[in-house]
Amino acid sequence: MTYLEFKESMREFPVFSVREIEKHFPNFDNRRLVEWQEKGYIQKLRNRYYRFTDYKVDEAYLFYCANVIYGPSYVSLESALSVYGFIPEGVFQITSCTTVKTNTFETPIGNFAYRNLKSGLFFGYHLQQWDGHHYAIAGPEKTIIDYLYLHSELESPADFESLRWNAAEISARISMEKLDTYISHIGSNALQNRINHLKDFLNANA
């Protein structure tokens, strides 16, 4: 099998796993993967996951990769906060939430970090279209909730001041009704307290 034949058969997968290769080519010789890496045709992202090197590495592609190489997962936390303009700076890694164990991966195209959430909190995301594919990313309200859920050290409105969050952008983009509905569904008093502190912070910076 030539590389061109392989790529033609696998072109629908911007990121592909050994399992997907074996579905298309039951007798595939894994030594080809080493050979094609050496030639720069493909890159290994993590164990058993690879990418074609001619795909442009931009934010959407990285978010797609984040979903594929470890899941189930969706982009959230600092990465989503940055997308929505809730924090002033970009982030140095792609951050996601997952129902499997917390993990990180350093890859040739960037670092990917995953934080565990219990299955009952795995909601509030949507599918964003990208190049004929899609990736899952938390909505603005769930992004806020995910962050607060995982940061129990936020105990007062002053703690939010130290985060340098963009209060005006948060107030403009999130639905307080949806936020309250999510909190009611989760049923956590500790999380409710953090949301109250967030609201105080937003009101003070309106």
Per-residue confidence (pLDDT) for residue 93, from 0 to 100: 96
User: What's the pLDDT score for residue 206?
Assistant: 73
**Residue 95 banded pLDDT, cuts 50, 70, 90:** very high
Tokens read off for 66: 């984040």
Percent of the chain at pLDDT > 90 equals 89
What residue spans define the domains of the chain? 3-52, 59-204
CATH number given to 59-204: 3.30.460
pLDDT score recorded for residue 11: 87
CB–CB of 116/146 below 8 Å?
no
pTM comes to: 0.94
pLDDT (tens digit per residue) in 172-205: 999 999 999 999 999 999 999 999 999 999 999 8
Over the chain, what is the mean pLDDT? Answer: 95
* Alpha-carbon separation of residue 157 from 7, 160, 189, 194, 201 (angstroms): 53, 5, 17, 9, 5
In tens, the pLDDT along 108-137 reads 999 999 999 999 999 999 999 998 999 999
Phi-psi region of 89 (alpha: psi -120 to 50; beta: other; left: phi over 0): beta
